[in-house]
Amino acid sequence: MEKKGKWYKKGLKDGLPVGLGYLAVSFSFGIQALKANLTWPQAVMMSMLNLTSAGQFAALDTITTMGTYVEMALSQLIINLRYCLMSSSLSQKIGENTPFFHRFFMAFGNTDEVFALSAAQDKPLSPYYSYGLMSMAIPGWTLGTLLGGIAGNILPDRVLSALGVALYGMFCAIIIPPAKKSRILSAVIIIAMLASTIFTFAPLLRDIPSGIRVIILTVSIAGIAAWVAPMKEEAV
Amino acid sequence: MSGNIFIYIFIMAAVTYLIRALPLTLIRGTITSRFIKSFLYYVPYVTLAVMTFPAILSGTASVWSGLAAFIVAVALSYMGKGLILVSMAASLIVFLLELIIV
């Protein structure tokens, strides 16, 4: 019991910047949703059930243009397919003795940021750590949508702009410390950022939607890295 | 078939949940392939690197404040500072810089 509480608290603590970052991002989502003619309860419902930034922003386009239900399903599938990779990776982190039902709940909250923090933990990953993270992430995302949806522009642009980088700062704090000890990992990260820059700005490549870009680059770069520099058995 | 907002939301939620839940529930054992293990080990680093850069440059009101936030975040992370400190410092530098340049 004590251990569960400890992991839950650690999750809450690590999840705090995630929750704050989400608050800012979903605040702007709430405003965008109103522009797409959703009511604020609809926007809040969407945030609570989906918990995905890129997917939800893209969905507003589909809704505004009255896209078909099939189009909605396909676009979500492609934009969110990266979660499939993340969940596969996470499946290897969960201890063998962890009751199976936890996986259904952990899956619900497996966002980019929750995954990033979970992946940084040593195996076995406690589901209570994930629940701690989710206890920050879900209210942050939902509440931000609510505030954006009902109050419009409360926060000045300056504050939104500043809060917007909190998530990226967190990503850096997750990927860089392990890279310090591994040249291969450093190279993988630098190559990934360079490739991402090329895909963002180069003609033709920049037309690829960002969700698909993430999948293409992740599969190809992680695939090449795994082929060229496979991990030593005990490290994985 | 289109137009009902609640059906849109339901479809989105179902698709997104299945993407997250199927791998977690179908892959129950430990994967033994060294290639797949290595691949899954690299996935989060590549994904997060791709999502961070260059997106951090366009997430703020000015490219320069975004770049400053990136440099500050990388430097502090390299020094081993925690998540909260790195995030707050990146936000703070953007706020301060934009008081001057925007």
CA distance to A16, A151, A158, B20, per residue, from A154 (Å): 22, 6, 11, 34
pLDDT at B96: 95
Query: Average pLDDT for residues A160-172, to the nearest whole number?
Result: 80
**Model confidence at A114: pLDDT above 90:** yes
pLDDT tens for each residue of A204-219: 999 887 767 887 898 8
Q: What percent of chain A has pLDDT over 90?
A: 49
Query: Average pLDDT for residues B52-81, to the nearest whole number?
Result: 93
Q: Are A133 and A15 in contact (CB under 8 A)?
A: yes
The number of distinct structural domains making up chain B is 1
pLDDT at A51: 95
Nearest Cβ partner for A73 among B11, B27, B82: B11
**Model confidence at A24: pLDDT above 80:** no
pLDDT at A26: 84
- Token pair listed for A80: 């969110």
Whether B78 is covered by a domain: the verdict is yes
Highest-pLDDT range among A106-110, A232-236, B23-27, B33-37: A106-110
- Token pair listed for A135: 């206890």
**Model confidence at B60: pLDDT above 70:** yes
Q: Which residue, among A105, A142, A161, would best test binding to B if mutated, counting the most B CBs under 10 Å from its CB? A: A161
Domain regions of chain A by residue span: 2-166, 182-236
pLDDT at A22: 85
Nearest Cβ partner for A218 among B16, B24, B50: B50
What residues in B contact A171, CB-CB < 8 Å? 48-49, 51-52
Whether B9 is covered by a domain: the verdict is no
* Domain assignment of residue B90, given as a range: 32-101
pLDDT at A1: 52
- Token pair listed for A125: 């990953």
Single pTM value for the model: 0.75
**Window from A55-59, A152-156, A157-161 with minimum mean pLDDT:** A152-156
- Distance, in Å, from the CA atom of B75 to the CA atom of A195, rounded to the nearest integer, reads 21
CB contact under 8 A, A88 and B23: yes
pLDDT tens for each residue of A37-74: 899 999 999 999 999 877 888 788 788 888 889 888 98
- Distance, in Å, from the CA atom of A198 to the CA atom of A137, rounded to the nearest integer, reads 31
**A31: closest CA of chain B, how far (Å):** 16
pLDDT at A60: 87
What residues in B contact A176, CB-CB < 8 Å? 74, 77-78
What residues in A contact B99, CB-CB < 8 Å? 158
pLDDT at B100: 92
ipTM of the complex: 0.85
CB contact under 8 A, B5 and A230: no
**Model confidence at A199: pLDDT above 80:** yes
- Distance, in Å, from the CA atom of B9 to the CA atom of A63, rounded to the nearest integer, reads 10
pLDDT tens for each residue of A67-105: 889 888 988 887 788 888 889 989 999 988 899 999 999
- The DSSP output letter for B85 is H
Whether B25 is covered by a domain: the verdict is no
Residue A55 or residue A13, greater confidence: A13
DSSP string across chain A = -HHHHHHHHHHHHHHHHHHHHHHHHHHHHHHHHHHTT--HHHHHHHHHHH--HHHHHHHHHHHHTT-BHHHHHHHHHHHTTHHHHHHHHHHTTB-TTS-TTHHHHHHHT--HHHHHHHHTSPSSBPHHHHHHHHHHHHHHHHHHHHHHHHH-S-S-HHHHHHHHTHHHHHHHHHHHHHHHT-HHHHHHHHHHHHHHHHHHHSTTGGGS-HHHHHHHHHHHHHHHHHHHSPPPGGG-
pLDDT, mean over chain A: 88
- Read off the pLDDT band of B49 (50, 70, 90): very high
Whether B20 is covered by a domain: the verdict is no
Whether B19 is covered by a domain: the verdict is no
- Distance, in Å, from the CA atom of A84 to the CA atom of A82, rounded to the nearest integer, reads 5
Omega before residue B44 within 30° of 0, cis: no
CA A155 from chain centre, in angstroms, equals 24
Whether B21 is covered by a domain: the verdict is no
Nearest C-alpha neighbor of B20 from the set A124, A15, A85: A85
